[in-house]
Amino acid sequence: MPTQNSQIPNQKSINRRSFLLGAGGLALSQLLVGCGDSNQTKLNIQLLKGSIPSQIVRQFRRSLEQQVQLNFSPVEQIQDLFKQLQGWQDKSKPTEEPFWTRFIPFRESPSTVASDLVTLGDYWLKAAIEQKLIQPLDEAEVKQLKQWSALDQRWQQLVKRDNQGNLDTQGNVWAAPYRWGSTVILYNRQKFQNLGWTPEDWSDLWRDGLQGRISIVNQSREVIGLVLKKLGESYNTENLDTITNLENELRAFNQQVRLYSSRNYLEPLIIGDTWIAVGWSSDIIPILTRYPQLAAVVPKSGTAIWADLWVRPTGVKTDTFSSQWMDFCWEPDTAKKISVLTRSNSPIFPDISPSDLQEPFRSLLQSNREVFAKSEFLLALPPSAMKQYESLFAKIKQD
């Protein structure tokens, strides 16, 4: 977790933010931008690989009233993007790119020149603000974003922060969310046929017949968080000592768990060693088409949610085209395409019919506002609270 003294958020907490390039993702050969001349207006964006389809970029280029050189650079992990933001603020590093790389719209190599916009996960936002790696959007710019008012208030509140990165309803707007996902339950249909029921909520994970049948991400916030949710409490509880029966519920849940692993929690389910896996939709959605015996569900009492955001690096000048790009991602047609093609959710909840989605993904991608209202972003907790989470989690796993 990012803390006041942290340089980078806990790596164990962000493995979920690594995406494989899937259907509809960026392909190097799919989008070619004319080289133009050295004076041509440019828009440089570094983004999480697979989070924006190439056809969206082409559509955006056609919508512009003047010719702009678009350079979109995909990066494998959010962690690498965060390090890139740190690198741009290190004045000792070179600031010139090799000349030939300027004309490649989708390139893998990291840039030494700050991009106009960068993808960042919501979990990293506080650390980026604390370390002065990003700057807030101009107030006038926010007012000109046509789709800003279409965002649910929870999204607006998520990106309004004070200068220490804490939530502040009167704070500046530091980011523009463009897609999101959640922690979900994945289960083997065949194994549950004999039981006569299928998982629907967190409380089902305590039911008889599941002892040693669950694999789950090795994250204290996620594991303790789902137990808190089962008890009707918040994922972001700061003092665990105030929650009656929490440790007993954790011990009972631990008896159901066969494996804690943030990297390999899906393998035991696939080979039949476990019947349920609990993890991140970004990990789970890519495997659903390959294993038809598996099904996924979003817990109806609410879950943990994450978001991909556009942020502007410190020192980068505000420009019309980066503002237009953020707004473009919120247009209903664009948002729908991002959702369908990257198999994620949109913060503006576009109208997506069941026929637009393949059957395995419908339960995860058809926006349920009631469940969303019960779900929570994982917020940065004070160091004392994080120590409490890690200590209790380690204690339970030793049983």
Check whether 23 has a pLDDT greater than 50. no
183-304+380-397, which class in CATH? alpha beta
From 105, 181, 106, select the one nearest 361 (Cα to Cα). Answer: 181
The answer to whether 339 touches 362, Cβ cutoff 8 Å, is: no
Q: How confident is the model at residue 290 (pLDDT cuts 50, 70, 90)?
A: very high
- Position 10 scores a pLDDT of 55
Domain ranges of the chain: 11-180+305-369, 183-304+380-397
Q: Tell me: the pLDDT tens digits for 63-86? A: 998 888 999 999 999 999 999 999
Check whether 13 has a pLDDT greater than 60. no
Summarize the confidence of residues 239-244 as an average pLDDT: 96
Residues 6+ apart with CB under 8 A from 94: 112
- Return d(Cα 58, Cα 106) in angstroms, integer: 12
Q: Lowest mean pLDDT: which of 18-22, 221-225, 278-282?
A: 18-22
Higher pLDDT, 49 or 359: 49
Check whether 308 has a pLDDT greater than 70. yes
- Position 328 scores a pLDDT of 97
- Position 363 scores a pLDDT of 73
Q: Tell me: the pLDDT tens digits for 141-197? A: 999 999 999 899 999 999 999 999 999 999 999 999 999 999 999 999 999 988 889
Q: Lowest mean pLDDT: which of 62-76, 100-114, 374-388?
A: 100-114
Higher pLDDT, 256 or 41: 256
Summarize the confidence of residues 348-353 as an average pLDDT: 81
Check whether 309 has a pLDDT greater than 50. yes
Check whether 95 has a pLDDT greater than 90. no
- Position 399 scores a pLDDT of 80
The answer to whether 348 touches 367, Cβ cutoff 8 Å, is: no
Q: How confident is the model at residue 225 (pLDDT cuts 50, 70, 90)?
A: very high
- Position 90 scores a pLDDT of 80
Check whether 397 has a pLDDT greater than 70. yes
Summarize the confidence of residues 270-288 as an average pLDDT: 94
From 164, 173, 240, select the one nearest 5 (Cα to Cα). Answer: 164
- Position 1 scores a pLDDT of 35
Q: Is the CATH code 3.30.1020.10 the one for domain 11-180+305-369?
A: no
Check whether 103 has a pLDDT greater than 50. no
HEC assignment per residue over the chain: CCCCCCCCCCHHHCHHHECCCCCCCCCCCCCCCCCCCCCCCEEEEEEECCCCCHHHHHHHHHHCCCCCEEEEEEECEHHHHHHHHHHHCCCCCCCCCCHHHHHCCCCCCCCCCCCCEEEEEHHHHHHHHHCCCEECCCHHHHHHCCCHHHCCHHHHHHHEECCCCCECCCCEECCEEEEEEEEEEEEEHHHHHCCCCCCCCHHHHHCCCCCCCEEECCCHHHHHHHHHHHCCCCCCCCCHHHCCCHHHHHHHHHHHEEEECCCCCCHHHHHCCCCEEEEEHHHHHHHHCCCCCEEEECCCCCCEEEEEEEEEECCCCCCHHHHHHHHHHHCHHHHHHHHHHHCCECCCCCCCCHHHCCHHHHHHHCCCHHHHHHCEECCCCCHHHHHHHHHHHHHHHCC
Summarize the confidence of residues 313-321 as an average pLDDT: 93
- Position 366 scores a pLDDT of 64
Summarize the confidence of residues 293-308 as an average pLDDT: 95
Summarize the confidence of residues 114-143 as an average pLDDT: 95
Q: Mean pLDDT over all residues of the chain?
A: 86
Domains 11-180+305-369 and 183-304+380-397 share a fold: yes
Higher pLDDT, 361 or 291: 291
Check whether 46 has a pLDDT greater than 60. yes
Summarize the confidence of residues 278-294 as an average pLDDT: 92
- Position 56 scores a pLDDT of 96
